[in-house]
Amino acid sequence: MTIEVLTGDPFAWEVRGVRSAVAIGVFDGVHLGHQQVLRTLTERAEEVKGVAVALTFDPHPLEFVDPSRAPKLLTSIDERAAVMESCGVAIMGVLPFVQIRDLEPHLFVTEILSYRLNAAWVAVGDNFRFGHNRSGDPGLLTQAGAELGFEVDVVSMIGDDERDLVSSTRIRDELEHGRVSEAARLLGRRFSLTGPVVHGDARGRSLGFPTANLHIPDRMAVPADGVYAVFCFLGDSRFPAVVNIGVRPTFGVNARAVEVHVLDFSEDIYGEDVTVEFVEQIRGEKRFESLDALVAQIGLDVEEARTLLSERNGRDA
């Protein structure tokens, strides 16, 4: 199955001739809690002999409602679609928040959920609000569903243990403290970053450890400054690698960078998209008193990464 991604004007979307089960949320990270909702979604879609539809938002609603509180994103739209597809979702609709934020709630329900998506079942979180002045809530949605012929479930986001609340906020906190293995447990897969390789200052090459500098959009979450053992993906190939995140204090650099040293690799990959999957933090960022001390530490980091990655050679978290 290849997931269909609906973008643009939601009043032009078409899911006709078949009923749908619909789940609505930001779904940033598509973590274990989200995945539980998506499993229920696909089950309900089978029950109504229809399709599973997940509605997400881009940009994040808080970028408009309260930019100071807008979180860094765990997943891009493409990454969200890939994980949703693996969960059995047939259609992902990307709602343009700026277009729907001022809709009267009944228009969103009747025109998009009922008419455009032909919903038979809709799932939302208990804090879901929609429409003008956030006047729509699960109660209003449930009442409208009874009138229009679809069922509404209000769901909670839990992970592999009901006592272990999983949330995108918690995962961001783990990343901010460098705990990438704990973030992986909550996501159900390793956290990853993807970006094109851009030209840097070539210091790594002069030290004997050439690095590829990744351009990561500012809106994306990045783990805490430090050195990490990672798997690096170039096309269909995977390589063990070390990532350094930080401002390179030994050189007095202030700009934060994400630099990848791919082990036993010497090809020119400028301009190519690279994905890194974070396995474990090796150490935090620190300033060294000399280049010799830095080079010696990098050598130790590489060997530790090599050992860690050989022990965790699978793609599982």
Instruction: Note the residue count of the chain.
Output: 317
E strand residue ranges, 137-225: 151-155, 192-198, 212-214
Rounded Cα distance, 222 and 178, in Å: 9
Contact (CB, 8 A) for 169 and 60: no
CB-count burial class (<10 Å; 0-12, 13-18, 19+) for 237: exposed
CB 250 within 8 A of CB 294: yes
Residue with tokens 């990270």: 29
CA triplet 220, 226, 228: central angle to 5 degrees?
Answer: 85
Angstrom distance (rounded) from CA 276 to CA 273:
10
Q: Any catalytic annotation for residue 46?
A: no
Which of 259, 277, 289, 303 is the catalytic position?
Answer: 259
Q: Directed axis angle between helix 180-187 and helix 168-176, to 10°? A: 160
Provide the β-strand partners of residue 158: 165
Phi, psi for 130 (deg, rounded to 5): -150, 160
Nearest to 128 by CA among 42, 57, 44: 57
Report which secondary-structure segment, H or E, holds 294. helix 291-311
Considering only CA atoms, which of 6, 21, 112, 96 is closest in space to residue 59?
A: 96
| 299: helix, strand or coil | helix
Query: What is the token pair recorded at 293?
Result: 């001390």
Q: Where are the beta strands (DSSP E) in 189-264?
A: 192-198, 212-214, 226-234, 237-246, 257-262
Residues labelled catalytic: 259
